[in-house]
Amino acid sequence: MLDYERSLEIATTMNSVPKFCFYNSVKALRKRSLNLHNAKYVEGCAKGEIMAFQHGWLELEDGTILDPTFAAICLDRQYEGLDAPNEYKYFPLFRYCKEELNGMRLNRFPLEIEALGKQQTQLLRRSGDE
């Protein structure tokens, strides 16, 4: 489940940028002051009521989702009619710990974009069956 309050705190602390989900998530994971020691960087897709899209976020050990980009969009209020935070469903495809990302430049993300597109299609088809 999304922890919107903590996501908002991260977005505010880091000055997260709307539409830069992969960048925002990796940057947050690397920021020591946020105390995200065992969090994972996740690439997958998110699905609202209206559309699905490729997305990046953080996930804690207990499964809690932190999404600084969604919080940044809400802060920026650039999208009228945006789905409420708890109306989004997250579909993780790839998870990475902080150590696996060491030495990688932020412009390399997302790491699995080609595979992500193929798997995203499969996930969305399955989610339509629910």
- 11-55 pLDDT per residue, tens: 999 999 888 999 999 999 999 888 898 999 999 989 987 888 889
Contacts of 117 (CB under 8 A, 6+ apart): 54
Higher pLDDT, 59 or 45: 59
pLDDT, residue 60, reads 96
Provide the residue ranges of all domains of the chain, joining segments of one domain with +: 4-127
Question: Is residue 85 over pLDDT 60?
Answer: no
pLDDT, residue 20, reads 93
Task: Pull the structure tokens for residue 25.
Answer: 């998530």
- 69-80 pLDDT per residue, tens: 988 877 766 555
Q: Please give the mean pLDDT across all residues of the chain.
A: 84
Only one residue has tokens 């009228």, namely 80
- CB of 32 closer than 8 Å to CB of 68: no
Determine the Cα–Cα distance for residues 64 and 78; give it in Å rounded to an integer: 26
pLDDT, residue 116, reads 58
Determine the Cα–Cα distance for residues 59 and 83; give it in Å rounded to an integer: 20
Question: Is residue 57 over pLDDT 80?
Answer: yes
Task: Pull the structure tokens for residue 84.
Answer: 């409420």
Determine the Cα–Cα distance for residues 46 and 31; give it in Å rounded to an integer: 24
